[in-house]
Amino acid sequence: MIPVTAADLGIEFGDASGHGFYKWLLASFLIGKRIRSSAAIEAYRNLVDQHGLDTPEKLAHCPHRDLVRILGQAGYARYDESTAKRLHALGIGVSQELDVQLNTLRKNGIAVSSFREWLLAFDGVGPKTLEIFMREAAAMLEHRSTGES
C-alpha cells in the first residue's frame, strides 16, 4: 500500500492558519493505529472537514461523546472510546504546547530529538505514529531548528 501523505489530505505545513503541523499530527495519530488506513483517513476527514476540528483547541473542547460518534462513523467502533480519550488529551496538550515547541525549535535551535520526545509523551503516540508524522514533518522541523524560513 502507498503511504498517505499530507498533500493527499490537503494539509500544508505553511498554510495561513498555521495548523498544518497539528493536522498532520492528527492524521498521523489516526493512521498509526491498527486499523484500516481507509477508516483512519475517513476519521480524519470527518473530524477536520465535516466537523471543523481543524485546530487543537477545537479538538480539546469537543465533547467525548461527539468524538466517539465521529470515530464510530468512520469505522473505529472497536477503538472509539479509547481513541476519543486519547484524541481529547492530544488536543489539550497540542493546544497548550505546539506553538511553544515550534518557537523553541526556531529560536533556540533545540534538537528535533527533543520535539520527538515531546510527541512520544502523548498517550497513543508511539513509534509508528512518530514515524508517519516525521516522514513529512522532519524537513520543516529542521528548517525551524536552523532558523531557515
Q: Which CATH superfamily is domain 19-146 in?
A: Hypothetical protein; domain 2 (1.10.340.30)
Residue-level pLDDT at 108: 67
Residue-level pLDDT at 58: 97
Q: What is d(CA 60, CA 95) in angstroms, rounded to the nearest whole number?
A: 8
pLDDT tier for residue 107 given thresholds of 50, 70 and 90:
confident
User: Is it the case that residue 60 has pLDDT exceeding 80?
Assistant: yes
Report DSSP letters for 108-148, one per residue.
H---HHHHHHHHHTSTT--HHHHHHHHHHHHHHHHHHHHT-
Q: What is the pLDDT of residues 22-52, one digit of tens each?
A: 999 999 999 998 888 899 999 999 999 999 9
Higher per-residue pLDDT: 14 or 61: 61
Asked if residue 74 lies in contact with residue 46, where contact means CB atoms within 8 angstroms, the answer is: yes
Q: What is d(CA 131, CA 108) in angstroms, rounded to the nearest whole number?
A: 24
pLDDT tier for residue 17 given thresholds of 50, 70 and 90:
low
User: What would the grid cell of residue 100 be?
Assistant: 511553544
Residue in the structure block whose three cell numbers are 489530505: 9
Instruction: Give the count of beta carbons closer than 10 Å to the beta carbon of residue 52.
Output: 10
Residue-level pLDDT at 149: 46
Task: Record the pTM.
Answer: 0.89
**Angle, nearest 10°, between helix axes 80-108 and 127-146?**
20
Could you tell me what percent of the chain has a pLDDT over 90? 56
Mean pLDDT of the chain: 86
Residue-level pLDDT at 138: 78
Q: What is d(CA 127, CA 149) in angstroms, rounded to the nearest whole number?
A: 28
